[in-house]
Amino acid sequence: MFHVILESTRSALISILAHGLRSFLTTLGIVIGVASVVAVISLTQGMSAFIGESFSSLGSNSLTIQSYTPISEAMRGVRARLTPEDLELIERRAEGVASITPILYASRSSQVRHAAQTTFSQIMGTTYAYRDVAQAWVHSGRFIAESDNLTRRRVTVIGEKVRDDLGLPENPVNEYVELGGEWFKIIGLLEAKGDVMGFDQDDIVLVPYSTMRSLVGNQSQIDIQIQLSLSEQAAVDDVTRQLTALLRNAHNLEPDEDDDFRINTAEQLMETFDTIINMVTLVIGGIVSISLLVGGIGIMNIMLVSVTERTREIGICKAIGAKRHHILAQFLIEAMLLSLLGGLIGLALGYGLGTAISSSIDSFPPASIPLWAIALALGFSGFVGVLFGILPAAKAANLDPIDALRYE
């Protein structure tokens, strides 16, 4: 049997090379289909890997708590909030918390000005603990200190993009910027982190939390976010359940009422992005893989033509002792090789296309193709060749040797 497969493969390769142009045109549908699928997978997998690396920097033991208002409630003018009292409650009673910090966003304007330059950024009031919770390290200068919070100093730490947009020097420490109509002294520049899904992590301005509270006014209805990191011994699920119970009790929620807050982990966010990316990959891959079926029909058509052209050859083979399964294997292997060659060309073309697209878009992660995608592309190509090669191969195998020898 091995000899039959070897000879059938040799015969198929000779036939493919003898009709090179026809063979290439036959596999063009397979090439386009595989190239499209591989390009899509390489782009989405590259993005997924980049997102995973970005979120891993946050740590698997960090939590973010924020208020949540359903659309139906918001339409009625109801708005859920997290208050400084919630923060104090968690600080006093929550166990397993290593660091905790509030985040209060500027409520009026996100405009940042220096001299004649103006930009818009994400202005946040926070504390010294934000450095550990968010893994935000300074490149030059220093971070916000506890004394800055206690005295409500007008100081700020900025991101690299803000520095660049305002035309500040490489080391902007001791320069002044205007935030919300007041001047702040720059005390630090954060290390650059880059983009994640179009969000620039360096487009950020940090000020002391107490200073931000004074800027937004003595409002009793402020809404803060709470970020915290857990101690090494603490389990994320246990702390999440504990925080949920504390906040539900503090907000006087009935057992049948939904939470008016959300507790998110870096792992949950990464899983959400992975789910979205996998769904997009599946849908787009399914759509473009239709061209593989078109390519399979093209292979079947050409193989039927080949059977007709080689009718006398088939008759001679049968006359000198070739069995039905010999003829079947010869044409089936030829169809599969045609499809696999198209798959190999499409694989190289698709990866090259994905690399070209990713490199042409600013800040887009590099394309990456996993081994399972290579195996899937080649395996599906071979399957298409076998599927659409069965009919021509069966037709060739079932030819009557006498009629085949008489064929002109």
Give the model confidence (pLDDT) of 249-296 as tens digits: 998 888 888 888 888 876 676 777 777 777 877 777 677 667 777 777
Sketch the domain layout of the chain as residue ranges: 2-54+275-406, 81-259
- Mean pLDDT for back-to-back runs of 10 residues, the chain (408 residues): 63 70 78 83 77 60 84 76 90 88 83 89 92 88 93 94 92 91 92 73 92 76 87 83 90 86 77 75 72 77 74 70 72 81 87 85 75 82 80 74 60
Dig out the tokens for 121 from the structure: 């950024």
Supply the pTM of this predicted model.
0.63
The DSSP bridge pattern shows strands 204-208 and 155-158 to be antiparallel
Q: Is 84 exposed, middle or buried (CB count within 10 Å of its CB: 0-12, 13-18, 19+)?
A: middle
To which residue do tokens 């907000």 refer?
251
What's the confidence (pLDDT) of residue 6?
72
Identify the CA nearest to 192 among candidates 158, 155, 169.
Answer: 158
What's the confidence (pLDDT) of residue 209?
93
Dig out the tokens for 224 from the structure: 């803060």
The whole-angstrom separation of Cα 179 and Cα 361 is 33
What's the confidence (pLDDT) of residue 2?
58
What's the confidence (pLDDT) of residue 151?
92
Alpha carbon distances (Å) from 223 to 21, 66, 81, 107: 68, 9, 5, 10
What's the confidence (pLDDT) of residue 328?
74
